Structure 1
Amino acid sequence: MDNDSSIAQIAAILREEAARLGPGARLPSSREIMRRHNVSPVTVSRAIGQLAAEGRVVTKPGSGAFVARHQRPVTGREAADLSWQTVALGDRVVDEGPVAALLAGAPDGAVPLTGGYLHPGLRPDRHLAAAAARAVRRPGAWDKPPLTGLSELRRWFAGQTGGDVTAADVLIVSGGQAALTHAFRALAAPGTPVLVETPTYPGALAAAKAAGLRATAVPMDVDGVRPELLAEAFAVTGARVFLCQPTLHNPTGATLPLDRRRQVLQVARAAGAFVIEDDYAHYLTEQPPPTLASMDEHGTVVHVRSLTKILSPSVRVAAVIARGPAAHRLRAGQLVESFFVARPLQETALELVGSAAWRRHLAAVHAEIRLRRDALAAALATHLPAGAELHLLPAGGMHLWLRLPADLDEGALVEAARRNGVLVSPGRMYYPSEPPGPRLRLTHIAAAHLAELTEGVRRLGRAFAEIG
């Protein structure tokens, strides 16, 4: 039962175990604690959270909970008892773990084969600084912007999306993650299902869960989501929203062919459903295919496009493109939740994408992606055992998706990799339900250079040998 007494009991047991194990030691996994004491995941999570609040343990997403090396000093007074909040907050949980893991920085000396942003050496920081300097000198740069975004910026996003999309269809929001959150809340009622590709982006799964939606998996192959199974999923679940990444899908790298794009639109149209098109990788390939939004004639597609991946984590500027009542609800949702995106940031983005530096930056990143993708694939072929296979070699993007031998312990491999100084993303976090087997997502764009990529794969190879 998830109540104060059971949480307190588990917390007390873990305090004793932490004292016995000593600083830096890893506590038993949540699954092991649940098995030993016959308690729920919520009870375990809250007990560990209580110890973390006391400064006794440190949680590391994807790795577990560890006894803190430096305990909080005793102040002479008893710590405040905040356990009452567990009753007031109820059982709803916002699971930030997968997103926190993706955003976490690499420790000194570790090679990051994780993450979703350009290495600082690849970012156009100098050009961004120049664009920002020009932007803040614009008349009215610090005024309240139009609530849907600067008209020039909306017009630019519309032109980039293609088809008959106009500036009136575009809403500027604070980054792609915010765009997904707005879309989920606007298009689906809490408690209803939402269809997602499997595997899929963990941040989308977290946003859907936070919106009270039930993510239901739709299988993929090397060409992306399978339209016949999408139709079946709509029929079985009654869902009215499907989230997809048709270009350079995260994590598999699959890109939907043109005929499948048409089929997906037809299936969604027949189901009376929306398609959220997360076009996060549009600028991470030299020749992106036509967007679903450019092919949409019925207001089926809600298109999401961000500048964050191609520029910088702090350029939180994205567009949500929609028509009809859905567009009105999206705009109303943003207005109620956050008013608008800061005008200086919008002005900076507009300055940069309108300059020659934008085109040069795109060309440089595309060339670097080709080099890094091929170097990572070659290193994997050289240093990993034969049972580890690439899903496919994508035509761009930041990631490679690796299938592991069926009998391999994915969690043990991720932990062994960490001990050997390389960070990788466990495949389990990309699945809304049980994964079909062990997987890893490997990122090539966060490392400093090609030599570091190769070194990271060597360390991963040592981790394989340790647990093999």
Structure 2
Amino acid sequence: MAGDGSAATLESTLRDLVRTLEPGARLPSVREIVERHQVSPVTVGKVVARLSAAGVLVTRPGSGTFVAAPPARARARRPDTAWQSLVLAGRSVDLGALREAPRDPVPGTISLSGGYLHRSLQPLSALASAMSRAARRPDAWDRAPAGGLPALRSYFAEATAADVGLDDVLITTGGQNALAMAFRAIGAPGDAVLVESPTYPGALAALAAARLRAIPIPLGPDGIDPDDLRQAFARTGSQLLYCQPTFHNPTGIVLSESRRQAVLEVAHAARAFIVEDDYARHLSHDGGTTRSLLGHDVHGTVVQVTSLTKPAAPSLRVGAIVARGPVAERLQASRRVDDFFVSRPMQEAALELTSSPRWAGHLNGLKRALRDRHRILSDALRARLPEWEPVAGKGGGLYLWVRLPPNADPAEIVRRASEQGVDIESGQRFFPAEADGPFVRLSFAAAADSVALEEAVDRLAPIGAG
């Protein structure tokens, strides 16, 4: 990515290589690495030293560099905890669809699953610099304001392109935390919540944990239909809609401009809130973004959640909720009850990153990379797996939502893909009720590069229709 140092890129590449090798395997020589990756011997030496210090590699003078053996772990005696099941009965946290969430792939597997950028797409050098500068601030370890650092709140307020100020913004530990807080603040146990179908499984899990009932609204090429929404509000008595109007996960669909105003009017007439998940604001493939629902809202209907995690890195757990009126006061109170405030060093690092010129450079580079990856994966599917039909998104996001042949079993397809060394996700877990067909979700942002994307489709080709 633009702005990243060659050392950071090489380190990411070597870490990926190590995952495919057994402990004790020998790495290519310094000369081979220099020639293959077009870096200097000094850079190779620095990266090898860093990975050796981290316990990833072992260097043996005169012999070479080798994959380190995993550290031995002493076996601890586990207590008998069977009694806990009786005490906790009836108070479980229902993970729902998250039980099938992607796990770390085995060595040699190409990942087309998960919701984060591969390290090759992350602004690693800029992140490291931001963390370093943040840690050197004299007040870095002081208590942060409950609502978040004012400068960071101002950044999120400005990014909405809506008529909001920093007092309307509450900093959170990522988008998932923001969703959970919003659902708990607005809904009461047993309430019905309208959701697009399909939708983000993490939202379904957060709704289930808050004892809220997800009611599906079908999603069309232009998003949810305002007439369907009006009928659903009337039929269920719901006072909350959760939606992803921009580059919807998993489909990539964008709620049309004409429907945005209509959806707001329907929700306002029902005296209902809308939780707008704006996770993909920085994931456009052409640089353009549609005005958010929050940007159209004049009644305080919309509570928007957003995050820096998706366009930056999984462990930059910094997000925000934007809300106005009494619901904002309730969210502020929830923050104080839950955990007082979000880690100040993490907020300072997020502020350092987003205020740096390198952030704009990263976003521009990310836009181009995602556009190219989307094209490469789509072209490869058309050439090698024509029976797998991607749903046409609108030029943004991280995924392809792929319809399988009518009789295909997504779970079996996922199992066979794993046998071929490719991690993909069944579409079933994205539906709050029955699925309207067999689908899989493919992430073009999770693989190391375009070569890996094409190799993944080559491995999937023998599966065909399942």
Q: Which residue number in structure 2 is paired with residue 445 of structure 1?
A: 445
Q: Distance in 1 between matches of 2:100 and 2:309?
A: 18
Are residue 392 (structure 1) and residue 392 (structure 2) matched?
yes
Q: Distance in 2 between matches of 1:123 and 1:215?
A: 34
Q: Which amino acid aligns with 2:254?
A: T
Q: Which amino acid aligns with 1:238?
A: G
3-state SS of paired residue (1:284):
coil
Q: Which amino acid aligns with 1:440?
A: V
Shift of 1:131: 1.1
Q: Distance in 2 between matches of 1:345 and 1:411?
A: 38
Q: Distance in 1 between matches of 2:431 and 2:108?
A: 30
Shift of 1:80: 5.0
Q: Which amino acid aligns with 1:247?
A: T
Shift of 1:92: 3.8
Shift of 1:248: 0.2
Say whether the 8 Å CA contact 2:135–2:345 is kept in structure 1: yes
Q: Distance in 1 between matches of 2:297 and 2:463?
A: 47
Q: Which residue number in structure 2 is paired with residue 364 of structure 1?
A: 365
3-state SS of paired residue (1:462):
helix
Shift of 1:98: 3.7
1:82-135: per-residue Cα shift (whole Å, max 9, x none)?
A: 333222212343233643644522211111111111110111111111111111
Q: Which residue number in structure 2 is paired with residue 226 of structure 1?
A: 225
3-state SS of paired residue (2:116):
coil
Q: Which residue number in structure 2 is paired with residue 303 of structure 1?
A: 304
Are residue 89 (structure 1) and residue 88 (structure 2) matched?
yes
Q: Which residue number in structure 2 is paired with residue 150 of structure 1?
A: 149
Q: Which amino acid aligns with 2:252?
A: G
3-state SS of paired residue (2:282):
helix
3-state SS of paired residue (2:238):
coil
Q: Distance in 2 between matches of 1:73 and 1:103?
A: 28
Q: Which residue number in structure 2 is paired with residue 425 of structure 1?
A: 425
Q: Which residue number in structure 2 is paired with residue 349 of structure 1?
A: 350
Say whether the 8 Å CA contact 1:173–1:319 is kept in structure 2: yes
Say whether the 8 Å CA contact 1:102–1:116 is kept in structure 2: no
1:172-195: per-residue Cα shift (whole Å, max 9, x none)?
A: 000000000000000000111111
Q: Distance in 2 between matches of 1:114 and 1:394?
A: 20
The runs of at least 4 consecutive aligned structure 1 residues that moved more than 6 Å come to 72-75
Q: Which residue number in structure 1 is paired with residue 208 of structure 2?
A: 209
Are residue 195 (structure 1) and residue 194 (structure 2) matched?
yes
Q: Distance in 2 between matches of 1:342 and 1:396?
A: 31
Q: Distance in 1 between matches of 2:351 and 2:208?
A: 33
Q: Distance in 1 between matches of 2:220 and 2:458?
A: 29
Shift of 1:163: 2.1
How many residues end up aligned between the 2 structures?
392
Shift of 1:464: 2.6
Shift of 1:235: 0.7
Q: Which amino acid aligns with 1:160?
A: A
Q: Which amino acid aligns with 1:339?
A: F
Aligned residue runs from structure 1 range 242-281, under 5 A: 242-281=241-280
Cα separation, partners in 2 of 1:278 and 1:287, compared to 1, 3 Å? same
Shift of 1:140: 1.2
Say whether the 8 Å CA contact 2:254–2:393 is kept in structure 1: no
Say whether the 8 Å CA contact 2:97–2:201 is kept in structure 1: yes
1:388-446: per-residue Cα shift (whole Å, max 9, x none)?
A: 21111431110010111111111111111111111111000000101011100110001
Shift of 1:139: 3.2
Q: Which amino acid aligns with 1:380?
A: L
Q: Which residue number in structure 2 is paired with residue 462 of structure 1?
A: 462
Q: Which residue number in structure 1 is paired with residue 340 of structure 2?
A: 339
3-state SS of paired residue (1:250):
coil
Q: Which residue number in structure 1 is paired with residue 239 of structure 2?
A: 240
Are residue 327 (structure 1) and residue 328 (structure 2) matched?
yes
Cα separation, partners in 2 of 1:80 and 1:154, compared to 1, 3 Å? closer
Say whether the 8 Å CA contact 1:376–1:444 is kept in structure 2: yes
3-state SS of paired residue (2:108):
coil
Q: What percent of counterpart residues are identical?
A: 48
Q: Which residue number in structure 1 is paired with residue 40 of structure 2?
A: none
Shift of 1:73: 12
Shift of 1:361: 0.1
Unpaired stretches in structure 1, ≥5 consecutive residues: 1-71
Are residue 404 (structure 1) and residue 418 (structure 2) matched?
no
1:243-275: per-residue Cα shift (whole Å, max 9, x none)?
A: 000000000100011111101100100100000
Q: Which amino acid aligns with 2:320?
A: A
Say whether the 8 Å CA contact 2:95–2:208 is kept in structure 1: no
Q: Distance in 2 between matches of 1:157 and 1:385?
A: 42
Q: Distance in 1 between matches of 2:197 and 2:93?
A: 21
Say whether the 8 Å CA contact 1:110–1:422 is kept in structure 2: yes
Highest RCO, 1 vs 2 (Cα 8 Å, sep ≥ 6): 2
Shift of 1:372: 0.1
Shift of 1:289: 0.9
Shift of 1:137: 2.1
Q: Distance in 1 between matches of 2:150 and 2:100?
A: 36
Cα separation, partners in 2 of 1:166 and 1:455, compared to 1, 3 Å? same
1:118-174: per-residue Cα shift (whole Å, max 9, x none)?
A: 110111111111111111222311111111000011111111102211101000000
1:311-360: per-residue Cα shift (whole Å, max 9, x none)?
A: 11010000100011100111111211111111111111111111110000
Q: Which amino acid aligns with 1:422?
A: V
Say whether the 8 Å CA contact 2:96–2:204 is kept in structure 1: no
Q: Which residue number in structure 1 is paired with residue 9 of structure 2?
A: none
Q: Which residue number in structure 1 is paired with residue 13 of structure 2?
A: none
Q: Distance in 1 between matches of 2:141 and 2:75?
A: 47
Q: Distance in 2 between matches of 1:168 and 1:444?
A: 37
Q: Which amino acid aligns with 1:384?
A: L
3-state SS of paired residue (1:248):
coil
3-state SS of paired residue (1:282):
coil
Q: Distance in 1 between matches of 2:298 and 2:321?
A: 17
